[in-house]
């Protein structure tokens, strides 16, 4: 599964970094950073949850 983020709409809520901590982190300003763009299994599951939780809908996942 492939992950894309839109940094221009990110509001730094941190839901991604707390629900999929091996896939996402936050930069110095608190905005989203993708650690792994291609994920499988449990990480894909966590990334899907992160995309669902993202309040600004800045995360998209492509199966």
Partner 1 sequence: MTLTYRPSASDDQLPAFPMARACPFSPPPAYEQMREERPVAPVRLWNGKKAWLVSRFGDVRKILADKRVSNNILHPGFPVLYAARSAVFKQYDKPPYFHFMDPPQHTENRRMLTQDFSVIRVKEMEEEIQSIVDGTIDEMLASSGRSADLVHAIALPIPMRVIARILGIPYADVVPLNRMMSGTAGFSQDPQEAKNAYARLNDYVSELIARKEVNPSTDTISRLISDQLHPGKLDRPALVRLIVFLLIVGHETTASMISLGMLMLLQNDEQREQLTRDPSLMQSAVEELLRYLSIVHLTTCRVAIEDIEIGGETIKAGEGIVALVSSANRDSSQFENPDVLDFNRGAKAHVAFGFGVHQCLGQTLARAELRITLNSILRKIPTLRLAQPFDDLKFKAYINGVQSMIVAW
Contact positions vs partner 1 (CB under 8 A): 9, 11-15, 17-19, 21, 25-26, 28-31, 49, 52-53, 55-57
Beta bridge partners of 24: 34
CB of 55 or CB of 60, closer to partner 1: 55
Beta bridge partners of 26: 32
Of 23, 17, 21, 27, residue with least CA distance to 54: 17
Structure tokens at 22: 């091996």
CB of 1 or CB of 56, closer to partner 1: 56
CB of 3 or CB of 20, closer to partner 1: 20
């Amino acid at each position: 599964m492939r992950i894309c983020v839109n940094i221009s709409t990110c509001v730094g809520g941190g839901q991604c970094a707390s629900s999929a901590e091996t896939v996402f982190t936050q930069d110095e300003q608190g905005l989203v950073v993708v650690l792994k763009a291609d994920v499988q299994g449990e990480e894909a599951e966590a990334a899907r949850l992160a995309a669902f939780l993202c309040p600004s809908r800045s995360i998209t996942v492509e199966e």
